[in-house]
Structure 1
């Protein structure tokens, strides 16, 4: 019995350490006036329920303070089952009526999550023609953002759902079959092969994680599928960061290689989390992330529902 208790304590020590570290890092948010500043949030559309509204309120305050230029949404944009058309009322009740702060009226760049695939994923593409700020021109797309006159950030927004073989059998099958996963992989490689000297950072945004400390998904079928499909591509093109959601928590993981992995899927729900040896942050809390890109630094701050910075780190060139 005593041996079992000791084993349990030792298993919990890494998680307790990470939690204490996150709390110790609580500070006021840093501003980077000369950087490209943007927010990253995910797993959010619940008609304002389950902490969506208070997180949205903090997003507005933070976006105002840092002068955010856009928002990235990492998928599962509309619970429980996506939207059926570009006129679905969920666009109003889960998006337009929730993110009302003036600082959040700039461009939003979403990707599709598995819940978005339960209805009509192309409806979210079509909504781009209706909304001033919703920018999803296709199920996958890319954009180059300027830091200044000479330096840029390349971001590829991908659709991870068709990269999961099991999705071709069940409730997602009809929408997944309509997507050409081979064409997307070729497009991604071509996009990331851009060797322009002006591009200082390469970032990929998807819904599903390659790595996660969330216990039930560490080696789940979808995590393994995405890792098997994307890891070699991210390594080959020296991608600086992969951003995702799916798990309703806040994470920073750093396995071997250049790429840092960030999970931001706690914009309206939080779930329990464990820890891994590669975990830099593993936090079960409501919140979102702030990224600030300069030519030689990529600053990352994790903000919780109370507006506190619970973690920060920086990537260097």
Structure 2
């Protein structure tokens, strides 16, 4: 009986295989061929979201923003997520095993479409405990990609051109932090000049068609910190490098609002995406303001060789702003 059954199955399988070959049917299916996300295509080559100042255990609209991020990334192409810092309130994480990883991150950004790579940077609140714990978490999490306190990543577009993103740590660039009882122990020994030299050299050697720098503290802002000591300190050391190398975009957080800023005398556009879980007031009618809003949300960027598009999406899923930078 066993022999008869085995012979019959063998004959059936052999016949099916021969029939498939004869009719030209595929004999191997890649997972991408049946992935519904493969159909989410547009005129852009690369897509990413940016959210900042979010880690509040789901409170103060963090959960609502996370849900809209998941919905947006389900309905639109998206390759990765950038976090612009202040990942954990009020005082960062104590270790890579801190429960806040679950309460503020893993259990909040749960949608399947948000399980791709996250590229984070450190904010000032992350410096109140152990900032290195967020680097070490990269060895635990599949999606948390933070190899160091500052690092870079190059993405290739379909044409073969490149997009360079430099992820920097602005905290050691603020002199006042070295005297602060909470920040001081963690900025000590960070050698800000070494980081700035690294950034200068990285941008000087870049052959990318788009160059983006991501840092937590803004160079300019229409929020409460327009002339604050941290804004002025970062502007002093960073603005000359951004202009020297004609950087296209400086993306930051820190201000809990959504902003697009552009000085007419400077090349780079600044975007502030810092309203992942709390909003603070903004100032209207500043000379460099293109768009400012005290609203919860995230930013969505799309890039090809010729254009970089930015959309601002609020916690209700509404697109409140859209613009395009052209080469």
CA contact (8 A) 1:33 1:66 kept: no
1:76-106 superposed Cα distances (whole Å, 9 cap, x missing partner): 0000000011111111110000000111000
Among 263, 275, 287, the residue aligned to 1:266: 275
Q: TM-score, normalised by structure 1?
A: 0.88
CA distance in structure 1 between the partners assigned to 2:206 and 2:87 by the alignment:
32
Matches within 5 A, 1:1-317: 32-170=42-180, 171-196=182-207, 199-214=208-223, 216-255=224-263, 256-275=265-284, 276-317=286-327
CA contact (8 A) 1:253 1:279 kept: yes
User: What secondary structure sits across from 1:32 in the alignment?
Assistant: coil
Q: Which runs of 4+ in 1 moved over 4 A?
A: none
Q: TM-score, normalised by structure 2?
A: 0.85
CA distance in structure 2 between the partners assigned to 1:31 and 1:251 by the alignment:
27
User: What secondary structure sits across from 1:300 in the alignment?
Assistant: strand
User: What secondary structure sits across from 2:260 in the alignment?
Assistant: strand
How far residue 190 of structure 1 moved from its aligned partner, in angstroms, is 1.2
CA distance in structure 1 between the partners assigned to 2:161 and 2:71 by the alignment:
27
How far residue 257 of structure 1 moved from its aligned partner, in angstroms, is 1.2
CA contact (8 A) 2:48 2:302 kept: yes
CA contact (8 A) 1:31 1:65 kept: no
Work out which of the two has the higher radius of gyration on C-alpha atoms and give 1 or 2: 2
User: What secondary structure sits across from 1:106 in the alignment?
Assistant: coil
Supply the RMSD in Å over aligned alpha carbons.
1.2
1:99-127 superposed Cα distances (whole Å, 9 cap, x missing partner): 00111000000000000000000000000
Which ranges in structure 1 are unaligned for 5 or more consecutive residues? 1-29
User: What secondary structure sits across from 2:53 in the alignment?
Assistant: coil
